[in-house]
Amino acid sequence: MLILLDLYSSTFRPLEWDILDNTPKSQIDILTFYTSLLRNWTVTLLSSPPPSFAGAAIGSLTTHVNTLALTILQTSSVETISTHDSVLAFYETTASLLSLPPLQPHIRITTPPSALIYTLYFTPSLSTLSRLCAILALYKRAFETAMSKPVPPSADPSQPVVEAYPKDYVNHFNGFLMDICNCLWRSRAFNTSDTNALGCLLPPPLLPKLTSYISSLDTGLSLQSLFSLSYSPVLCNLSISYLRELEDKAEEEAEGTIRIRHAGPVTQKSLVALGKEGGLQLGWPAYRLGVLTYLEGKGVKGVGELMYNTMKHLMTARENATKA
């Protein structure tokens, strides 16, 4: 690894000048190079004692790539899964690095830009959503580890003392988690009254206009519930498929005694009505936990990983459900 002596100016900027040509492909090529470089650095750091400049070099690289990745997402004329893949691959590499105990004391956590998080979250790709949630879950664990352990003194007295992460910095990251949980789990999308909630950065003047528009459709729906497990454009099909499979199984076991099937999408009220009308007997907590388990079974593991890591009671509920 190169000693950090204006690393960008001496090495990366000339490289970018040679490769970048104002096209998305050239930007992705550079991003792919930085991802490979970070992987190489990780292997190097694990094979020998990390030098004193390792953290600064990785922090500098991550900060630069944050801008590059956001630029790619915001300037690409057509967002594609391959574009998302290139961006997510870098943050998966970063999150994996932050999860390695030998390197955690030496690396500062540099979070992705807020706009990048929400741009990826609201894309119509199930794989993008799942991978983003998995990345955020790893970042959360890294923060928990960093905040719970005292930072060891540097072997080099000339190095500045590494301070704890500023409260505002950690709270801002927690805002990402709160917003996603509000969207998926609590049916409180764009809420800003909860602790640390950022409302997905939706401009405040826009919220009442969107709320009014949804109300005018006369569907009985609310803006806040449209991004829940049952209504999310990328999760609704799997959510209702989970319920359909439960109904099929119940009919087989009860020999057709279920008198009515759920029309979908599922809400807390609709499940109560379903049970009273002779349909499947299923509680709201069990339904949501079941959807997470169903998603995992379909390979969509990131959503559950983030929910379990953000709301600890879900892990207990999951364990109890497994034992039952």
pLDDT tens digits, residue range 207-220?
Answer: 999 999 999 987 88
Q: Residue 2's pLDDT is what?
A: 45
User: pLDDT tens digit string along 113-131?
Assistant: 999 999 999 999 999 999 9
- Asked if the model's pLDDT at residue 18 lies above 80, the reply is yes
In the prediction, which pLDDT does 234 show? Answer: 96
> Over 50: is that where the pLDDT of 178 sits?
yes
Distance of alpha carbon 215 from its chain centroid, rounded? Answer: 29
Range list of H helices, the chain: 7, 13-19, 24-47, 54-75, 81-98, 114-121, 126-148, 167-184, 206-216, 236-254, 268-276, 284-297, 302-310, 312-323
Contact 227, 186 (CB under 8 A): no
Sequence-ordered list of residues with C-beta below 8 angstroms from that of 64, at least 6 positions apart, any chain = 8, 12, 34
How high is the pLDDT of residue 1? 46
The answer, yes or no, to whether residue 56 has pLDDT greater than 90, is no
Q: Cα–Cα distance between 313 and 311 in angstroms, integer? A: 6
- Cis preceding linkage at 124, omega within 30: no
Q: Is the pLDDT of residue 319 over 60?
A: yes
User: How many CB atoms lie under 10 A from the CB of residue 221?
Assistant: 14
Q: In 3D, which of 210, 204, 270 has the Cα closest to residue 243?
A: 270
